[in-house]
């Protein structure tokens, strides 16, 4: 694959990454730079998970081509290896069209897989998945978890002590993220790249998270969650996206609406802290204040990346 110039917009949830990426892409396209957006969100790959994952609608995309959305059904497995394959396919197409790619999202493993390549010795982790798996093992026992591991990743199961709850839980966590295959070999991005992260002060970020949680419920999250539960097993990994279990609790009479919105916001605040910790470990990222208009800064960076790629081709 010939790598197109790549502008990466990362950061915790609810920092305005999606809206900013669309504004920048539209301005770049108006300048004659064929910018396209690739999502790096591990839950937006699932069809039907729209309101709960804050997925940008077709109408909101402003005519900018988007990739990485609505790739599989919620009951289909999707690993980081699948994402690498799909994202590299999108990047190859953007390169053929002479465009610039904008990789945007908060799934750190996905971003790292594209930008830095993957360390074949380092297995991924997901604290939310780990907590859910551990809770399930406590409730149903290690034998049931071992059976699930054998089904999900038989090769990995064969290398694990299936009587050890901690090792079974870790193996299940890895299997949910990458399936039953080893991580792809390291393959760092080989085109011009600029990586920025969006940040907010804690109070403002909490307010943005709370406002988004309320707007998702007002936009129909309860109906979306009801329809999904009618079609799919609610214990699927896809539904670890924050918002769906809170919505189901309202539908089942376990929480009132206000309590569900507050729980949604609280879980997202905790999630955002974990994301921020992940991104702080990434070297070379330029941090920008999400409350300030960063369109001019990113336009300048995008134009530089496009010019750099053009100079290399020349």
**Quick check: 13 and 283 in contact, CB under 8 A?**
no
Q: What stretches of 13-107 show up as alpha helix (H) in DSSP?
A: 17-30, 80-96
> In degrees rounded to 5, what are phi and psi of residue 58?
-60, -40
Q: Where are the domains of the chain?
A: 6-121+183-313, 127-178
**Quick check: 90 and 38 in contact, CB under 8 A?**
yes
Residue 15 in tokens: 């920092």
Of the pLDDT bands very low, low, confident and very high (cuts 50, 70, 90), residue 156 is confident
Q: Taking all residues of the chain, what is their mean pLDDT, rounded to a whole number? A: 92
Residue 37 is given by DSSP the state E
* Domain topology for 6-121+183-313: Rossmann fold (3.40.50)
* Domain topology for 127-178: Histone, subunit A (1.10.20)
pLDDT, one tens digit per residue, over 211-269 is 999 999 999 999 999 999 999 999 998 998 999 999 999 999 999 999 999 999 999 99
Locus of tokens 């949680």: 213
CA atoms within 13 A on the CB side of 4: 29
**Quick check: 210 and 162 in contact, CB under 8 A?**
no
* Cα–Cα dist 36/46, whole Å: 20
Locus of tokens 């780990």: 130
- The predicted model gives 143-148 an average pLDDT of 94
* Cα–Cα dist 22/102, whole Å: 9
Cα 245 to the chain's mean position, in Å?
18
pTM for the whole structure: 0.82
Q: What is the pLDDT of residue 120?
A: 43
* Cα–Cα dist 296/205, whole Å: 22
* Cα–Cα dist 196/31, whole Å: 21
- The predicted model gives 28-32 an average pLDDT of 97
6-121+183-313 and 127-178, same CATH topology: no
* Cα–Cα dist 197/99, whole Å: 22
């Amino acid at each position: 694959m010939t790598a197109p110039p790549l502008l990466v917009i990362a950061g915790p949830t609810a920092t305005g990454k999606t809206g900013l990426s669309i504004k920048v892409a539209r301005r770049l396209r108006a300048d004659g730079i064929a910018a396209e957006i690739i999502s790096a969100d591990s839950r937006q790959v699932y069809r039907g998970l729209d309101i709960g994952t804050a997925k940008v609608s077709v109408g909101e995309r402003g005519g900018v081509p988007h990739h990485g959305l609505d790739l599989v059904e919620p009951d289909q497995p999707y690993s980081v290896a699948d994402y690498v394959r799909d994202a590299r396919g999108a990047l190859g197409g953007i390169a053929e069209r002479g465009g610039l790619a904008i990789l945007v999202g908060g799934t750190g493993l996905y971003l790292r897989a594209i930008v830095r390549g993957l360390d074949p010795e380092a297995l991924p982790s997901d604290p939310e998945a780990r907590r859910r798996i551990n809770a399930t093992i406590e409730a149903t026992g290690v034998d049931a978890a071992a059976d699930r591991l054998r089904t999900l990743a038989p090769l990995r199961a064969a290398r694990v002590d299936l009587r050890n709850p901690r090792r079974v839980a870790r193996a299940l966590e890895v299997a949910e993220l990458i399936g039953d295959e080893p991580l792809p070999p390291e393959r760092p991005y080989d085109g011009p790249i600029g990586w920025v992260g969006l940040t907010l002060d804690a109070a403002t970020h909490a307010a943005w998270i709370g406002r988004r949680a309320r707007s998702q419920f007002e936009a129909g999250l309860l109906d979306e969650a009801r329809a999904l539960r009618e079609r799919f097993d609610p214990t699927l990994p896809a539904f670890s996206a924050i918002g769906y279990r809170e919505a189901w609790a309202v539908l089942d009479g376990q929480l009132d609406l206000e309590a569900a919105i507050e729980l949604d916001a609280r879980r997202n605040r905790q999630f955002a802290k974990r994301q921020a910790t992940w991104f702080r470990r990434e070297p070379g990222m330029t941090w920008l204040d999400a409350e300030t208009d960063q369109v001019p800064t990113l336009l300048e960076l995008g134009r530089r990346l496009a010019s750099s790629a053009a100079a290399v081709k020349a």
